[in-house]
Each structure stands twice: as C-alpha cells, then as structure tokens.
Amino acid sequence: FGHRVQHHLTRGPVKGGLRYHPSVDLGEVAALAMWMNWKCALMDLPYGGGKGGIACDPRTMSIGELERMTRRYTMEMIPFIGPEIDVMAPDMGTNEQTMAWMCDTYSTHTGYLVPSIVTGKPLALQGSAGRTQATGHGVAFLASGALNKLGMAVEGATAIVQGFGNVGSHAVFTLASYGVKILGISDVNGAIWNPGGIDVKALRAHYDEHRTIVGFAGADVIDPDLLLTQPCDILAPCALDRVITGENAAKLQCRILAEGANGPTTPDADRIIDQRDDIFVIPDILCNAGGVTVSYFEWVQNLQRFQWTEREVITKLETLLHTTFEKVTGFAKRNEISHRTAAQAIAIKTVADAKAARGMFP
C-alpha cells in the first residue's frame, strides 16, 4: 500500500519525505506529516507538513522494480502534488535517484522539466549543494551553540553519536571539525568506544571499505545501549526513535541532548529529564530541521532557476538555525518552560496566526 498525508496547507505547499519500509502504515505517515508541519512552522518555512510512504522492503527489490513502483506511485499522486501544492523529498529507504525518477515522471506528464516538484535531487537535475550533509551539519552546529550558551568551550568538548547514516556521520564529521572529541559511535551493526577520542579520518576510511564501523581498530566494542549512558558533553541520538526511555533517562551523563532523530525521547523519559533539570535539550523539531531547511533552499533555487554555492547554502542554513535556536531558548527562559514545549508552542502559534489572518471563506 502507498500513502500520502498532507497536514495544513495554510502557510504554503506541504513538505515532507517519501519512505519505503515494511512498517509503513497510514497512522505512522499521518503522525510524521503533523510533525513536519510543526517543524516547518518553527523554522518559519512557508510550508505545511507532508509525509508519504509505501509498505515494501527496498532491500529485496531490484533497481527496475524500485523504478517502476516509484513512477507508478508518482502517477497516482499527480492530481495531489505540485510545486505549489506538495513537494516530496527522500526519507527512509529512498534517495536522490528516487527523486530523479519522480521528477522525470511528473515532468513527462507536464511536457517540460519541473525540478521544483521534489527536493533532494541529484545535482545534475538541479539539486542543491549542501543538501546531503544539511541535517547532520545542523545537529553539530546547534550542539556547538548549546555549548556556547552553557559557557562551555567547543574545542575539547566530548560527544557520543548514535547512528552513522546520513545524519549521524555528518554530525560526527562536523563536530570533529569544530574540535569536539568523539568518544563513541554506533550504527546498525554495533557500537564503538574510545575514551581518548576516535580518529574520525581513520574511521571514515574503515567505513568506506567495510560499510560499517564495527571492526574499527581504533576503538573498543561496547554495548549500544550502554553507549548512551556513558559520560560526555553532547549526546546526539541520530538514528532510531524512542531510544531515550524511562529506563535509561535517569542514567544519562550528558550535558546536552541533541535530538538528531525524530522522536528519540519517549514522554516518560522527557518527564524524567525535565525533573533532573541538568540536561540542555535541543528538541528534534529544531535539532534535525537542517534537512528540510536546505530542501526549502533547493525549492527556492529551482523556482528562481538560480543555483547557490555550497558556502552560500551552509551560511544561510546556519543563520536560520541560529535565529530559531535563540527564539526557542529565549521563549523557554521567559516562560519558565522546557525547550521542547517552547518549540512546540512557537510552531503552533505560527500556524494559528496564519489561519486567523486568512479567515474563513465564504
């Protein structure tokens, strides 16, 4: 089955990914669409939230099967999508090739190239420089901002990153470029730990050869669950949801929790962290908003038929993330509420104000 959910077109076209995974169902897609709506509103992007998915296992499908399924899905969606209606992007199980097929299918229907129908495209089809690393870069940038906010030096700070996919790997490399010492990393196959710091250049070479961090000679093996509760300045869950739970929240030894994944902290864990009041939380709808922000930049470039350099893209991304970070932390401090509640409140008010301004017709 294939699904697409559009959550609020009040502020503009809906924006959100398309995922291919066996667990996809309507409830999951609807929840993620609402999540995207609040994320876009918080970042003040002119979008509502959207999310799509097909219940399938792309790992068992041939390239030809994936292409035919993608093109068929796109054809079925044509009455409901468009650059000013619904703009899709890659998500779990999809990539820039998926977006290229979608762009081609839609453009064949219109009779001319419409690059703004999807984002996350290859550069050859007017994708944006900086899109691949955007989410992970944003996680690292905001984590460094949190260190500054706490009066802690970025150079020499320590970090643990859960996940070494697109988000986690770029968070690791960006943090390391800031001078942060990476103590531990996990991926789908296991976790590694080195209290003296992991050589990320050597790790990159190992990963490029073996496609896993497991077996890296420069670190010890550690249980992935235990990794989350090791002492560090920054803990960045950048893979699965619901990994910070009521069982391990009290054991966390981080100073900053940078939520690179969607929903990594359960409600029970969130209550425990609030009661502890010693962890600086960067909530997911802010922390991982780098991806949708650069997707917005790609859409704008496509509409203008004008390409920005990677430096321009990253500079604009950091400016917008910094502005929103200051807005959230300031609102939370003034109202004596958590950063998560502050981010959610700002997002809801942004949508409500737009809805009120538009009014009702007739």
The domains found in the chain, sorted by start residue, are 2-39+47-122 (3.40.50.10860), 128-362 (3.40.50.720)
Q: Which helix (DSSP H) or strand (DSSP E) does residue 296 occupy?
A: helix 290-304
* pLDDT for residue 240: 86
**Model confidence over 258-295: pLDDT tens digits?**
999 999 999 999 999 999 999 999 999 999 999 999 99
* pLDDT for residue 359: 95
**Model confidence over 84-134: pLDDT tens digits?**
999 999 998 999 999 999 999 999 999 999 999 999 999 999 999 999 999
Catalytic residue among 51, 121, 149, 251: 51
What's the chain's average pLDDT? 97
DSSP summary character for residue 118: B
Dist CA 280 CA 150 (whole Å): 9
* pLDDT for residue 199: 98
Is the peptide bond prior to 362 cis by the omega test (within 30 degrees of 0)? yes
Please state the φ and ψ torsions of residue 248, each to the nearest 5 degrees. -115, -5
8 A C-beta contact, residue 39 and residue 292: yes
8 A C-beta contact, residue 247 and residue 224: no
Dist CA 301 CA 313 (whole Å): 10
Angle at CA 22, nearest 5°, toward 160 and 185? 10
Does the structure show a pLDDT above 90 at 18?
yes
Please state the φ and ψ torsions of residue 59, each to the nearest 5 degrees. -70, -20
Q: How confident is the model at residue 226 (pLDDT cuts 50, 70, 90)?
A: very high
* pLDDT for residue 362: 78
| Burial 307-342, CB ≥16 within 10 A → b, else e | ebeeeebbebbbebbeebbebbbebbeeeeebbbbb
The contacts of residue 338 (CB under 8 Å, 6+ apart) are 270, 274, 281, 332
Dist CA 172 CA 176 (whole Å): 6
**Model confidence over 31-43: pLDDT tens digits?**
999 999 999 999 9
8 A C-beta contact, residue 352 and residue 9: no
Angle at CA 284, nearest 5°, toward 280 and 286? 85
Dist CA 66 CA 72 (whole Å): 10
**CA-only gyration radius of the chain, Å:** 20
The contacts of residue 216 (CB under 8 Å, 6+ apart) are 192, 198, 202, 203, 206, 207
**Model confidence over 292-345: pLDDT tens digits?**
999 999 999 999 999 999 999 999 999 999 999 999 999 999 999 999 999 999
- Which whole number is the average pLDDT over 73-77? 98
Dist CA 55 CA 74 (whole Å): 15
Cα end-to-end span (Å), the chain: 37
Q: Could you give the percent of the chain with pLDDT greater than 90? A: 97
Phi-psi sector, 191: left (phi>0), alpha (psi -120 to 50), beta: beta
Is residue 39 annotated as a catalytic residue, yes or no? no
C-alpha torsion sign, points 216, 248, 290, 76:
positive
* pLDDT for residue 361: 87
Which amino acid appears at position 238 of this protein?
Answer: C
